Amino acid sequence: MLNNKIKEKIVLALDVETIEEAKELVEELKDYTGTFKVGLQLFMGYGLEIVNYILSKNANFFLDVKLHDIPNTVQKASENIVLRGANFFNVHCTGGLEMMRAARKGADDTAEKLNKKPPVILGVTMLTSISQEVMEKEFKVDKNVSSFAISLAKLAKEAGLDGVVASAVEVENIKKELGEDFKVLCPGIRPKWSLKDDQKRIATPSEAIKRGADYIVLGRAVTKAQNKIEAMEKIYKEIEEELCLQH
172 binds ligand C5P (CB under 6 A): no
66 binds ligand C5P (CB under 6 A): no
199 binds ligand C5P (CB under 6 A): yes
Among 39, 45, 96, 160, binds ligand C5P (CB under 6 A): 39
Least Å from the CB of residue 223 to ligand C5P = 7
Among 188, 191, 205, 212, binds ligand C5P (CB under 6 A): 188
Among the listed ranges 67-75, 111-119, 146-154, 214-222, the one in contact with ligand C5P (CB under 6 A) is 214-222
CB-based contact 97:71 (threshold 8 Å): no
Residue 113's contacts (CB-CB under 8 Å, 6 or more residues apart) are none
Q: Is 5 among the catalytic positions?
A: no
Among 67, 74, 121, 217, binds ligand C5P (CB under 6 A): 217
Which phi and psi angles does 117 have, rounded to 5°? -65, 135
219 binds ligand C5P (CB under 6 A): yes
Nearer to ligand C5P, 74 or 165 (CB): 165
Q: In whole angstroms, what is the distance from residue 69 CA to residue 75 CA?
A: 9
202 binds ligand C5P (CB under 6 A): no
Query: What end-to-end distance do the CA atoms of the chain give, in Å?
Result: 9
Least Å from the CB of residue 136 to ligand C5P = 20
Nearer to ligand C5P, 98 or 193 (CB): 193
Helix axes 19-29, 40-56, angle to 10 degrees: 40
Least Å from the CB of residue 6 to ligand C5P = 17
Choose the catalytic residue: 66, 105, 154, 210: 66
Site for ligand C5P in 109-168 (CB under 6 A): 128, 165
Catalog residues that contact ligand C5P under the rule CB under 6 A: 13, 15, 39, 128, 165, 187-188, 197, 199, 217, 219-221
Residues carrying an active site annotation: 66
